[in-house]
Amino acid sequence: MLNILLPIETPELLLRKFRPEDGEGLYAYLSDPETVRFEPYGPLTREQACAEAQARAQARCFVAVERAGVLIGHLYFAVKGDCAELGYVFSPAYQGHGYATQAARALMNAAFSAGLRRVTAECALENPRSWRLLERLGMRRVSETPHSVCFKQDASGNDLWWTRLEYEIRREV
Ligand SMILES: CC(C)(COP(=O)(O)OP(=O)(O)OC[C@H]1O[C@@H](n2cnc3c(N)ncnc32)[C@H](O)[C@@H]1OP(=O)(O)O)[C@@H](O)C(=O)NCCC(=O)NCCS
């Protein structure tokens, strides 16, 4: 079993486990429709965010990212064997500063040092901030499948289909 020790400190951030009292912090960004546009769920209510914080405090695959005591986003890092799947959502107030890159890089480095061999990620071509982040992390695009992912509908109720991109990075040996 891979053992990534939290917390991890970077020059500007603290990566830590979620706590049951992170509900308000999660609500601050997961209630924003634009922030969750490419996620497989809609904006969270305050009650849902509080329940989510409780659940994440027990889960191993979510990492809270804090800056100066404020929850600014989270990483999803689901480890299966020697491979992990990476995901991320950051508060719009803290995007555009390199914090997601800094956080994901620190977590991936810790995981590779602990024995992980491969990290994968999926995102939509229509979400360039996401695939630009993956490319900043040195990940390689391994597939591009048009019209293959649908989480949401438009205002008229029509399904929105996106192009699914798959990325990966392997530990250098
Ligand atoms: C995907 C997401 C995490 C990317 O966030 P981000 O802020 O663009 O990524 P970073 O924190 O790495 O910041 C990079 C940006 O900061 C800028 N930046 C400033 N200082 C920087 C630094 N020291 N290092 C790196 N980038 C820096 C970069 O130029 C880049 O901006 P640009 O894309 O306009 O050129 C964010 O858009 C998000 O949470 N979106 C909503 C949720 C979502 O869609 N998740 C993915 C679903 S698949």
Here the CATH number for the domain that contains residue 136 is: 3.40.630.30
Ligand 1 pocket residue status of 169, Cβ below 6 Å: no
Any domain includes 51? yes
In a domain, 1, yes or no: no
122 lies in some domain: yes
Residues of the chain with pLDDT under 50: none
pLDDT of residue 23: 98
Q: Is residue 166 part of a domain?
A: yes
Query: How much is the pLDDT for 173?
Result: 74
- On whether residue 151 sits in a domain, the answer given is yes
2 assigned to some structural domain: no
Task: Look at residues 70, 67, 105, 71 and name the one whose alpha carbon lies nearest to residue 86.
Answer: 105
Whether 138 maps to a domain, the answer reads: yes
Distance 156 CA to ligand 1 centre (A): 30
Q: Which of 95, 120, 123 is the best mutation target for the ligand 1 pocket, counting ligand atoms within 8 Å of the beta carbon and taking the most?
A: 95
Distance of alpha carbon 139 from alpha carbon 119, whole angstroms: 8
Residue 3 forms part of a structural domain: no
pLDDT at 1: 60
Residue 58 and residue 81: Cα distance in Å, rounded?
20
How many domains is the chain partitioned into structurally? 1
Which domain covers residue 82, as residue numbers?
8-170
Query: For residue 2, what pLDDT is reported?
Result: 77
pLDDT, tens digit, for every residue of 35-70? Answer: 999 999 999 999 999 999 999 999 999 999 999 999
